[in-house]
Amino acid sequence: MNVTFYGVRGSCPCSGDRYRRYGGNTSCLVVEVEGDEPLIIDLGTGLRVLGEVLHKDVRAVGAPLHATALLTHLHFDHILGLPFFAPLQDPGARLTVHGPAQAKRSLKDVLHAAVKPPVFPIHMDEFRGELVTIDTRDEDFSVGSAKVMARVIPHSGVTLGYRIEADGRALAYLPDHQAPLDRRTISDSVMELCQGVDLLVHDGQYTEDEFSTKADWGHSTAAFAVHVAAEANVRKLLLSHHDPSHNDREVDRILTQARRLPEAKGIEDVSSAHESQSIDLGHM
């Protein structure tokens, strides 16, 4: 199982020299399992770049893309890449999106409402490819040879965390996770997703000072991410969803402080995610 990141920023995209190393695109990564179609996680602005890569690959073999995406939630920073996903320009292309079931509207209705005039020049239905949506709740399912666990986790609005298991390896992805006020209590759903995984990609958006004024904004501190990883016996922790106000130096500083925490000593590696980063989790 190989994991490649195309967007690791939270809240809104940003650009400039100050963001060169970690990148400015919002949440998107792809999980590759040998013999399977691409498994995309989140549809932030990083999806545009991923789409260019996948479009080149499918055109080389002369077949439209078929892929599956796991969408954590419907905030703009996690769906902004969808209308710019180049493979959907091709007839016969299909993107199947599992995303959080909503109380009053279907996932399809919400995504189509986000891609239509006056907020976007064309309707989602005008793309030549097909967008298939699956309203997802607390459930387990398979995508190709990968086993996927979806669980509702604390955040602003209905939000799913995911656990993906393939080739004897496990990845947990929680880019938006509301830390509790005590920064110690961990919900049962989060523990279930994270327990014993080889790699945990976790929300590390705020410093402790920032959390003190944004405690109900839906995010975690790097220290809480380390706590979750330590309690769940995670092998490697990757901090993600970097705040747009945090330039490369600030992300470095947050990472340095996280690595110095006593709980980090029991984790094989604590790092910060960056665009174009590729991690081979191997197989067993």
Nearest CA-CA partner of 87 in 134, 37, 147, 16: 37
Angstrom distance (rounded) from CA 110 to CA 132: 13
Amino acid at 131: L
Instruction: Note the helical H segments in the chain.
Output: 46-61, 107-114, 188-194, 208-213, 222-231, 248-259
Spans of all domains in the chain: 2-280
Q: What's the N-to-C CA distance of the chain in angstroms?
A: 10
Angstrom distance (rounded) from CA 282 to CA 270: 18
Q: What b/e string do you get for 44-74 counting C-beta neighbours within 10 Å, with b at 16 or more?
A: bbbbbbbbeebbeebeeeeebbbbbbbbbbb
The tens-digit pLDDT sequence of the chain (284 residues) is 999 999 999 999 999 999 999 999 999 999 999 999 999 999 999 999 999 999 998 888 888 999 999 999 999 999 999 999 999 999 999 999 999 999 889 999 999 999 999 999 999 999 999 999 999 999 999 999 999 999 999 999 999 999 999 999 999 999 999 999 999 999 999 999 999 999 999 999 999 999 999 999 999 999 999 999 999 999 999 999 999 999 999 999 999 999 999 999 999 999 999 999 999 998 75
241-264 tens-digit pLDDT: 999 999 999 999 999 999 999 999
CATH of domain 2-280: 3.60.15.10
| Residue 225 near residue 239, CB atoms below 8 Å | yes
| Residue 74 near residue 100, CB atoms below 8 Å | yes
Q: Where are the beta strands (DSSP E) in the chain?
A: 2-7, 28-32, 39-41, 66-70, 94-100, 130-136, 139-143, 146-152, 160-166, 169-174, 199-203, 236-240, 269-272, 278-280
3-54 tens-digit pLDDT: 999 999 999 999 999 999 999 999 999 999 999 999 999 999 999 999 999 9
